[in-house]
Structure 1
Amino acid sequence: MTKKFNGGARQLAAFMIGAGLSIASPFAATAETLSLGSTNATSSHYQIAVAMSKAIEAGSPDTTVTVVETGASVDNVKRLARGEINLGLVAGDVFIQALTGTGQFEGKAIDDLVALYPYSDSVVNVAVRADSGITELAGLEGKNFTPGIRGSGGELLISQAFELFGIEPNYIYGTVTDSKEGVQNGQLVGYSKYAAANRVDAALQELMISTDMRILGFTPEQQALVKENLAGVSFVTVPAGFIKGNPEFTTPSVPIVYATRTSLMDNATAEKVASAIGEHKDILVETWPQLKDYDFKSSILETQDIGIAIHPGALAYWSK
């Protein structure tokens, strides 16, 4: 029986070769599709996610990457926990809470959560209408305010921080578009959202065309409370003139990584993804010019200092 099977296989192979057809080796690389969880499509972070998908495909021609619009960090972690995506955007503080089973993930630790690559240190812009009269965070008490995209790291950070400060706005949830429209028509006094590096997010840039805005800062006491209670959060001081007429302010800053789970991605695939991002940085820079001088290697290795775990496969690449 075995000899007959082998003989038939040889005949089939000879036929296919004669017909000019190729035979896939059982050891050849197989095509792979990866789903990449990003954020709301109106965010500039979604634009760079699309560029990432192109970079990964450029570095691995046998891989197809599908970008999935999500609610960002918290939503992505939950999707990773359910195995619905292969990798996704996660803010550093959300990552640590998920890995350690604290905060939003109390008793629900995802102990195999690991980072593949970083791409930004993002600041939180707490923006309010200039005509609202609000000049400090405490002024948001009882006011209609959107703390960020539902399910995002920004929403979680602001909600947790305001709880520490004893500030209770009237939270109104919605998309970035909902927030912009709410501010424009006066239904909201403002909203908060992550912005890449020390920049004004694309949504806020668009909003400022029609509405004068002010960005609020965190006091030294508020900064101390956040640092004491929320791991992975640091602060940056942004100089006056960040937006027209805005004074200097200090605001939270967190590293942003793309993460997966070791149970979802093997070492070879993780190294392939990390390598594709590192070797095809030019594709990312076309979308975000500010990444031209961004050091992916040192940034990902430094995240270990605040408790972010790196996938062994990715670490093999970034440690070279």
Structure 2
Amino acid sequence: MKNLKLAGLLLIGLLFALAGCGSSQDDGGETDGGSGNDGGDDASGEEVRVTLGTGGTSGTYYPLGVAMAQQIFSNVDGVSQARAVSTGASVTNAQELAEEKYQAVLIQNDIAYYAVNGETLSDFEGNKVDNMAGMTSLYPEDIQVVTTADSGIESLEDLKGKNVAVGDQGSGAEANAKQILNAAGITYDDITAEFMGFGDASQGLQNGTIDAAFITAGAPTSAIQELGASKDVNVLSLSDEVIDKLLSEYSYYTERNISADTYADYGQEEDINTVAVMAILVVDKSLPEDAVYNMTKGMFENRSELVDAHSRGEDITLETATDGMSIDLHPGAAKYYEEEGISVE
């Protein structure tokens, strides 16, 4: 009888010991489960998961974002997993980064500026996005003022009294249009402002319901090409005075020259002098410095993946990585640029 009691006590002790070992292994698994590399949070040793917000699947943001996430960020130290998702693009991306749905987003630099400073667009007025930091500038998105060759419109001054598509109401494109018109001494009182997207604006130009349209997109732009398939186009140049005023007042604009060859097949006869905002990549400020450093380094060391994904990948270079950056850089990105001799001021 004593031997049976002793055996029972030994068995109970053994079960408790095994339970303790199992608990220890589970805790260790949770701590170590994504930390196969040296990057990541120094305090916990954990790697981060990155969800990258892009844009619509037919646009430029999406294929570039997929290449960044799958081909580059997934393979760097400090990131255990990266994926790209289709979104409503810049304004939506800023809002959902603020809500921590994404850890990185593609966005226009002017929208990033408005978001961080809580101004200009109704979505951000009095509602700053406090967790956004810059990683890199990508490529220019040109401000194109397009009309038809037979409209008689040759300059911004000629827009007075005309029906002009200025982008969707409250959009970044509308903000661009208003700033450019104001730089030329023109307000909405001088025109009939039509609030519509690029596709609708192209249709309006084709059927004659509008006279000109502001389009913010990398050239060549499909909406202008679609118009050019039925009518010769004329993309206006901005005067030197207007360009200088915009560059002096707004940190996010850069000067651009678009060759006439870009739209030569659609009737364009002259080069186009204009300004552009930049598509940029931003991240959540809370991402570890090591992870963002490795993401930045990985992107430029594997740039060919971006070139293969979309032709705009050709514009993504280390030399232009801080051009038009409208918000403060993440310390991890700044560290990489400093090592490469790129100015971060």
> TM-score range, shorter-chain basis?
0.7 to 0.9
Query: Unpaired segments of 5 or more residues in structure 2?
Result: 1-11, 36-46, 340-345
The structural deviation recorded for 1:200 is 1.2
- Find the counterpart in structure 2 of residue 38 from structure 1: 54
TM-score (norm 1): 0.78
The answer to whether the Cα contact below 8 Å between 2:34 and 2:80 also exists between their aligned partners in 1 is yes
- Find the counterpart in structure 2 of residue 261 from structure 1: 284
The DSSP-based 3-state class of the residue aligned with 1:125 is strand
Supply the distance in 1 between the matched residues of 2:13 and 2:273 (Cα, whole angstroms): 74
The answer to whether the Cα contact below 8 Å between 2:143 and 2:176 also exists between their aligned partners in 1 is no
Match of 2:34 among 4, 18, 29: 29
Equivalent AA in structure 1 for residue 84 of structure 2: T
- Find the counterpart in structure 2 of residue 81 from structure 1: 98
Query: Unpaired segments of 5 or more residues in structure 1?
Result: 17-22
1:33-112 matches, within 5 Å, as 34-56=50-72, 58-60=74-76, 62-70=80-88, 72-104=89-121, 105=124, 107-112=126-131
Equivalent AA in structure 1 for residue 199 of structure 2: T
Supply the distance in 1 between the matched residues of 2:16 and 2:166 (Cα, whole angstroms): 66
Supply the distance in 2 between the matched residues of 1:106 and 1:260 (Cα, whole angstroms): 21
Classify 1:28/1:281 alpha carbon distance in 2 versus 1 (closer, same or farther; 3 Å).
same
- Find the counterpart in structure 1 of residue 153 from structure 2: 134
The answer to whether the Cα contact below 8 Å between 1:271 and 1:316 also exists between their aligned partners in 2 is yes
- Find the counterpart in structure 1 of residue 212 from structure 2: 190
Equivalent AA in structure 2 for residue 66 of structure 1: A
Matched, 1:300 2:317: no
The answer to whether the Cα contact below 8 Å between 2:139 and 2:315 also exists between their aligned partners in 1 is no
TM-score (norm 2): 0.73
Classify 1:129/1:303 alpha carbon distance in 2 versus 1 (closer, same or farther; 3 Å).
closer
The answer to whether the Cα contact below 8 Å between 2:163 and 2:193 also exists between their aligned partners in 1 is yes
- Find the counterpart in structure 2 of residue 118 from structure 1: 137
Match of 2:181 among 162, 165, 170: 162
Q: Percent identity?
A: 22
1:192-231 matches, within 5 Å, as 192-196=214-218, 199-231=219-251
1:43-78 Cα distance to aligned partner (Å, 9 max, x none): 3344433333333455358414132321x3334323
Equivalent AA in structure 1 for residue 284 of structure 2: R
Give the number of equivalent residue pairs.
306
Supply the distance in 2 between the matched residues of 1:260 and 1:40 (Cα, whole angstroms): 19
Supply the distance in 1 between the matched residues of 2:30 and 2:208 (Cα, whole angstroms): 64
Supply the distance in 2 between the matched residues of 1:133 and 1:63 (Cα, whole angstroms): 55
The answer to whether the Cα contact below 8 Å between 1:33 and 1:66 also exists between their aligned partners in 2 is no
Supply the distance in 1 between the matched residues of 2:324 and 2:245 (Cα, whole angstroms): 21
The answer to whether the Cα contact below 8 Å between 2:254 and 2:324 also exists between their aligned partners in 1 is no
Classify 1:157/1:188 alpha carbon distance in 2 versus 1 (closer, same or farther; 3 Å).
same
The structural deviation recorded for 1:311 is 1.0
Equivalent AA in structure 2 for residue 171 of structure 1: A
Supply the distance in 1 between the matched residues of 2:154 and 2:321 (Cα, whole angstroms): 36
